[in-house]
Structure 1
């Protein structure tokens, strides 16, 4: 049956799904799918039924296609290879694959059909990339590379790639707009995981645009993909600016060195039962109004107001001038730790790891040094002219020609007060 006959066949019933007056033969989208019925039927055969049945069919088909040296299997060899499967179930799987043209029998031996091998190869690629966070980007990039290598039509694959890149851009913009440190870090990690696919996609686009015979619409689509990749390449700087803003607003709990982000991260790791236990005595379903407006408090405030005499024609002249009291000098802030740390950083001649610079004299002082390095990094990145014109130990510290680099990784320390520290380094500006 041809594709046109298949679409118009009343037994198929395509007309029941279309609007009145629309003929299935007038839709080019349906015509393309109708011509690919054998391939679509193969995937229908594989993925129809329960999850256990689907996994079993994919397993058997993949193992049969994996042996390239001996592509034909006798029934005895198949039973020996799949001895862990019930013989009746195995025979049911083989019969279904054979009846739907995924397997064929030649001289009483099983082998993959052409459609079965194509389906097996497509599944193998998807399974290979399934460990990545964004399997779609890797699969689409590989698909474009394959089509380009055999001079195939890359139009649909380029459209899908552009859609995926735009989806990633919107996801990253939403993470930045949320202002959540945890969402921004997770989005940044996702961007790093897709970095290799973005680089390979850029190389593929260069090769594609170098073709002088490339149609105009295809070249325009490739340029739009290039712009989308450029936006993703710049989003890392946006992540850093958002994290710097969050860093400037972070609150440290007293002199403990524990910040509000540490508390939020700890709370996110608790389950619902632990959170309910923490809030058991801290929250009330409604405020206790008796504490806010009790009888005694109301009487104490009303009595002096009611018993006070009217002011009448009181004198409104200003009091005689008097010398302003001399206020005592405010207590000076102890900046000895900052000055010693600044002298230590200024004496560096090469890169030094944070694990060598930060620890010492307990957790509180180490946290203070870490916060000073974060402040120094932000001042160097922003280039604030107020820092250059400032005076005092803090301004001198912020003008140090020191670069600070943080990462998202941790390393353990053999220290009684500090269990782990961020991996990073400080180095004199201009040093490699």
Structure 2
């Protein structure tokens, strides 16, 4: 570059300041002055510094690291200067991207797939562009076994990443099939999700629906895991301070409360037993069903009505406890299909019938025979 070109390029600087900077660069060996051609050019050291600082002047992205590694590996292979450390770094980068894309596919989340899709397409494009150099690198013969091993591992990672394209496409198609269109508006569930994600305050959507506003707080899985691990470490017992079991102590006296049947059953047993207590040689008089059932709330009357079929039941008589005592009473229930009205505050009508003494019922059966 001519001296006049430098003056025009840095016209904002004073001539003395520009001359001082050029002098410092010449002293450091970064700038070389050719007296024959009367121009400046960068030294080899300056070119190396420029190669290191050049990527820092561009806008950073998540895929710049792999692009730089691919460029270095492809360029080194073209010049025959392949280095095992560079190949290993590229292999690690491809493996990390493969795991990240595999997690996105396994999640089945449309949002995550859409977010990962640009990076996946860029990674495939970079690998395909450098494919010729990588293929030549993988197929080359090396005297260094470490370099050969890293080249084979790089080829395996490249093949895995390229084979993932079909899996990623199927995952996107599956997400598209699960998308729901809301009526005839043309708005899909994906549009609603994107709108909700971009909304600055979701709690404001409730409006006046609640008297007290609700503001959701979303905690990521990593935060939950950190909190759980912290609590686990805090509550973990210390094995070094083991004190053993506590000394024996006399148990306090207590009472065992057994499960009791409803009091209506006990009352019904007492009532039927009193009706059975007649003088010797006499038979108890039959009783109407309403005399046994009616009394108290509807639930109590319904419970007594359900107990009546147990009277005289052969299997129920073998039971222990109050249920067996009730079934062994010398009474039988005889219900009819007719419904009679009842003058009661809780029951309007019930099935007609009566309970009869067991002996009289057996006698009637013998008479009919």
TM-score with structure 2 length normalisation? 0.51
Q: Which residue of 1 aligns with 2:315?
A: none
Q: Out of 88-97 and 186-195, give the one that drifted further.
A: 88-97
Change (3 A) 1:278 1:209: same
Which of 162, 169, 185 aligns to 2:91? It is 162
Q: Which residue of 1 aligns with 2:10?
A: 82
Q: Which residue of 2 aligns with 1:204?
A: 133
8 Å contact kept, 2:94–2:158: yes
Change (3 A) 1:228 1:213: closer
8 Å contact kept, 2:142–2:148: no
CA distance in 1, matches of 2:206, 2:20: 57
Which of 139, 152, 175 aligns to 2:104? It is 175
SS at match of 1:313: helix
- 1:313 and 2:304 matched: yes
Deviation at 1:161, TM superposition (A): 0.8
RMSD: 3.5
Q: Which residue of 1 aligns with 2:41?
A: 111
Change (3 A) 1:315 1:237: same
8 Å contact kept, 2:73–2:87: yes
8 Å contact kept, 1:133–1:193: no
8 Å contact kept, 2:105–2:171: yes
- 1:150 and 2:140 matched: no
Q: Which residue of 2 aligns with 1:235?
A: 164
Unmatched 5+ stretches in structure 1: 1-70, 288-305, 318-432
CA distance in 2, matches of 1:200, 1:154: 20
CA distance in 2, matches of 1:89, 1:279: 64
CA distance in 1, matches of 2:170, 2:135: 31
CA distance in 2, matches of 1:203, 1:80: 43
Change (3 A) 1:249 1:237: same
Deviation at 1:249, TM superposition (A): 4.0
Which of 146, 151, 167 aligns to 1:222? It is 151
What is the aligned length? 224
CA distance in 2, matches of 1:118, 1:223: 30
CA distance in 2, matches of 1:175, 1:93: 52
Q: Which residue of 1 aligns with 2:197?
A: 268
Q: Which has the larger radius of gyration?
A: 2
Deviation at 1:278, TM superposition (A): 3.0
SS at match of 1:258: coil
SS at match of 2:41: strand
